[in-house]
């Protein structure tokens, strides 16, 4: 059971917009930044979004992050087939004194 | 190019020990914290540990506390993960990543990972 809660799956068709949610608590998302990582199965994860809404260099502006209270979201617009991957949210947890990840959302395009 | 290369993964019996290495290149190693994250087969990401620039501050996940030890040798641009008293549930791909201090710019990049299999 992950500390951060993500829906296990999401789907969309090319060109559509999909939004991933990440729910936590006061000790993690509520008091710290949220990060989003993407992983194509069989490969290493890659950073997409840092400090809630900052896109890593090279990440298209189709990807956008936001945070409100103890929840965060990652939106992907103009879906492409190459966006098909697993998406993970993460945040530092003050109570656990460590990073916590969501269980990941598998995106099917 | 920034590159992280993990090594040391192997098949090992429960109770055994293993040391993983993470060799860094392409950036100034001794000004960045470093992190270990693992991923069990078919499962999600699990944070393992983060070590500060000097190695003076280290945080561990509860699941490995007291069994795993992280260290770094800035003269060799390498971080290590000493794993003792291994359990079947420690079976995973272990990734190292640059960064990981709270509030920082995230874990970026990640190495390709090294597989640790713990089995009788």
Kindly report the nearest CA distance between residue A86 and chain B, in angstroms: 9
Contact at CB, B61 and A88, closer than 8 angstroms: no
pLDDT at residue B110 in the model: 98
By the 8 A CB rule, do B37 and B20 touch? no
Contact list in B for residue A8 (CB cut-off 8 A) is none
By the 8 A CB rule, do B104 and A32 touch? no
Can you say how many angstroms the Cα of residue B71 is from the centroid of all Cα atoms in its chain? 9
User: Given 3-state DSSP classes, what are the helix, strand and coil percentages for chain A, each rounded to the nearest 5?
Assistant: 5, 50, 50
The pair phi, psi for residue B52, each rounded to 5°, is -75, 175
Over residues B97-117, the pLDDT tens digits come to: 999 988 889 999 999 999 999
How large a percentage of chain B has pLDDT more than 70? 100
Contact at CB, A90 and B45, closer than 8 angstroms: yes
Using CA atoms of A60, A54, B54, A44 in order, give the dihedral in degrees to the nearest 10.
-40
Length of chain B: 120
Instruction: Tally Cβ neighbours within 10 Å of residue B103.
Output: 9
Say which DSSP state A102 is in: B
- Residue B111's alpha-carbon distances to A42, A53, A80, B3, B94, in angstroms, are 13, 24, 26, 7, 9
pLDDT at residue A84 in the model: 97
Q: How confident is the model at residue A108 (pLDDT cuts 50, 70, 90)?
A: very high
- State yes or no: pLDDT of A36 exceeds 90: yes
Q: What angle do CA B79, B40, A76 make, to 5 degrees?
A: 90
How large a percentage of chain A has pLDDT more than 90? 98
CA B45/CA A60 separation, integer angstroms? 24
- State yes or no: pLDDT of A66 exceeds 90: yes
By the 8 A CB rule, do B111 and B9 touch? no
Contact at CB, A92 and B113, closer than 8 angstroms: no
Residues 46-75 on A with a CB inside 8 Å of B are 46-47, 50-51, 54, 56
Strand duo A85-93 + A71-76: pairing? unpaired
């Amino acid at each position: 059971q992950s500390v951060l809660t993500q829906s296990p799956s999401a789907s969309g068709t090319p060109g559509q917009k999909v939004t991933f949610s990440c729910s936590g608590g006061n000790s993690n998302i509520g008091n710290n930044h949220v990060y989003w990582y993407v992983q194509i199965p069989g490969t290493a994860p890659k950073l997409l979004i840092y400090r809630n809404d900052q896109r890593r260099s090279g990440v298209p502006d189709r990807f956008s992050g936001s945070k409100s209270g103890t929840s965060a979201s990652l939106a992907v617009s103009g879906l492409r087939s190459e966006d098909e991957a697993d998406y993970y949210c993460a945040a530092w947890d003050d109570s656990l004194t460590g990073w916590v990840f969501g269980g990941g959302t598998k995106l099917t395009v | 190019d920034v590159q992280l290369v993990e090594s040391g993964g192997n098949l090992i019996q429960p109770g055994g020990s293993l040391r993983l290495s993470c060799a860094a290149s392409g950036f100034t190693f001794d000004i960045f914290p470093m992190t270990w994250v693992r991923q069990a087969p078919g499962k999600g990401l699990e944070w393992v540990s983060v070590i500060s620039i000097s190695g003076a501050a280290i945080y561990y996940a509860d699941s490995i506390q007291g069994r795993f030890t992280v260290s770094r040798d800035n003269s060799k641009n390498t971080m290590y993960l000493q794993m003792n008293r291994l359990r079947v549930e420690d079976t995973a791909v272990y990734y190292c990543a640059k960064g990981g201090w709270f509030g920082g710019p995230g874990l970026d990049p990640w190495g390709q990972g090294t597989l640790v299999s713990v089995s009788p």
